[in-house]
Structure formats: structure tokens, C-alpha cells
Amino acid sequence: MKTNKSVIIWLLSGCALLFIMVTVGGITRLTNSGLSMTDWHLIHDTFPPMNEEKWMEAFNEYKKYPEYLKINQYKSGGFTLDDYKSIFFWEWFHRFIGRIIGVVFLVPFIYFLFKKRLDTPTLKKCLILLSMGAFQGFLGWFMVASGLKDNPDVSHFRLAIHLTFAFLTFAYTLWVALDLIYPDRKPAVGPLKKIARIALVVLLIQIIYGGFVAGLNAGLVHNHWPLMSDGQFFHESITLEQPTLLQSFTEGKSGVQFIHRTFAYVVVAMILLLFVKSRAFVLDATQSKATSFLLVFVGIQFLLGVLTLLFHVPLWLGLAHQIMAFFLLSAMTFTLHRFSK
């Protein structure tokens, strides 16, 4: 089967843009910029306000919503138009990249479809990708809308859904590209494929809880490691924040952080198990490199997680932790693909 290089480049370009979008999304969240745009239009807000009058119009509209009414207007020194412009930029840029991704996916897709460059299996996968992209746009507004009512912050559940689905869209785009990069099928490495699948599920659960931690600002409490505080592995506040244990582990800052910091050991253990087990098999070069990179990436990610916690989530460390999660998921997807096909 002839490799379709132009389609591969298109898909990998989509992966790169998704990576950029999630990175900018992380900055948007860490700078508390996500609620600066109080409505959503497909075309109308493609570009920021072009003059001072339009800026004041947008700023006055923002003043009607909880984030300004309950938080920003009481900041020391007030909250000026320049302050508003700084947070507006990141939310606008995040949405703008989303529009660019839509164009980059849709226009070449139509071209490849017209030129009959997509075989039936690839066409079906690309249709799924386009549907995932459209749904991700809906999830973005669904998340923002939760912070425009009474609560001056978005739902951490919706944030986690939005974040995780972006990771899934990226992973599936990469998988489709890998199918074209490696068209020759080889027998799957059954035992390693099974472990890699479980490791991927474990990693996705950890990403979901990363979204919970971000949405609840749970990284700003219990800034100790390896214990949550002096002498406490399971901090007493976990059971006090919410009426039930389930709510504590899904809605309480202490409980959510406990799951995220503890489950990190499970992620490391699964990837270490995969690496150790893979040594018993005769692997090709890509399979061997995949497991090695996976082990290195999870070690770096674990270290970044610890440092992010100890230093109270500075912007650069929080962002580095999220970016490394992307690299880790990329390596996990590549490894599973190489053991599956």
C-alpha cells in the first residue's frame, strides 16, 4: 500500500495545532482568563475589539457577570480595562486557534475527498475526527457557560470533560496518522498490548483528575510531598470537606488532590511494568524506543507533578506539567499502536 504523505502531514499538522490549543488552554486556565468572553459566536468574535469603544462595550458586558461582580471588582487597585484586555487575550486566542483547527481539518478534508485521496477506512476515521472536533467546540462553551451564572468559576466536571476530550481527539488523530505511516500490518504483541491498553486507561483517569485538580485549584492545598502534611499520608480534611466519601473524592479539594497524587504512582507502576515485561520479547526498533521514551516521559512527568505541588503551582510549572502530560499520552498512544499492529 502506497503511503499518502500529504494526508499524513495534514493529520500531524492537526496534532500540532491540538497541542498548541491545549497549551494555550492551560495558560487561559492558570491566568484565570477563561470567563472574559461572555458569549460565543462562530464568526462575530473571530477577532478582538478593534477600537476603544468596542473594548468598553465588551468590558461593560463582562461587568454583568459573577467573576467581575464577586471577585475582580474587589481587587486591590481595582480592575481596569487594561486588566480586562490581558485576560481577554488568552481566551480569545484559545478560541481563535479552535477556529484555525476547524479550517485546517475541514478544508483539506474536502480537498482530499474530492481528489479521492482517502480510502474507505481512513475516510470513516476522518469523519469521526471532524465530529470530535465539532463536539469539542460545544464542550468548550458548555464549560464556560457554567461560570457565567451564580458561581464565578467553571464547573470542574465540565473542565475535566473538555480537557480529556481534547486529549482523546489528539490521541485519535495521532492514531489515524500512525495507521498511514505504518501501513504494513504485523502480528500484535498480545501480552504487551494488553498491558499498554490498561496503562492508557489508567493514564486517562489521571488526566481526568488533573482536570479536577485544575478546576478546583486543588494544587494550592497540602503543598507537601510525599505526605500531604507532616505525618499524614491521608489528610484528615479529606473526609470533612464533603458529606460523603464519593463527593470528597470528586468535589473536595483535599480528596481530589489525594486521588491525583496517589494515582500517579499507579501510572508509573503500569508503565514500569510494561517496560520490564517488554524486555522479555524480541522487539523491533520502534517498539523498543517507544517503551524507553514512555519510561523517561513518565519519570519527568512525575517529577514535574511533585515540583508543581511543592512550589504552589507557578504558571510555568503548571503549564510544563500539562505539556508533559501531552507528550506522555503521545508516547502511550504510539506504544499501544506499535504493539497492536
Q: How far apart are CA 269 and CA 266, in angstroms?
A: 5
Are 260 and 277 spatial neighbours (Cβ–Cβ below 8 Å)?
no
pLDDT band at 1 (very low <50, low <70, confident <90, very high): very low
Q: Which residue has the higher pLDDT, 39 or 206?
A: 206
Give the mean pLDDT of 100-111: 94
Give the mean pLDDT of 281-291: 92
- Long-range contacts of 99-106, Cβ-Cβ distance < 8 Å, separation of 24 or more: 99/46, 100/17, 101/14, 101/17, 101/18, 101/21, 101/133, 102/133, 102/137, 104/10, 104/13, 104/14, 104/17, 105/14, 105/129, 105/130, 105/133, 106/130
51-60, 118-127, 169-178, 224-233: least confidently modelled range: 224-233
What average pLDDT is seen over the chain?
A: 93
Are 180 and 122 spatial neighbours (Cβ–Cβ below 8 Å)?
yes
Alpha helices in the chain (DSSP H): 5-30, 52-62, 66, 81-114, 120-145, 156-181, 190-216, 245-251, 253-278, 285-310, 315-340
145: alpha, beta or left? (left if phi > 0; alpha if psi -120 to 50) = alpha
**Peptide bond preceding 66: is omega within 30 degrees of 0, i.e. cis?**
no
**Is it the case that residue 106 has pLDDT exceeding 90?**
yes
Determine the pLDDT at residue 74.
87
- Report DSSP state, residue 229: B
Residue 331: Cβ within 10 Å count: 22
Q: Which residue has the higher pLDDT, 43 or 62?
A: 62
- Return the bridge partners of 215, or none: none
Are 303 and 319 spatial neighbours (Cβ–Cβ below 8 Å)?
no
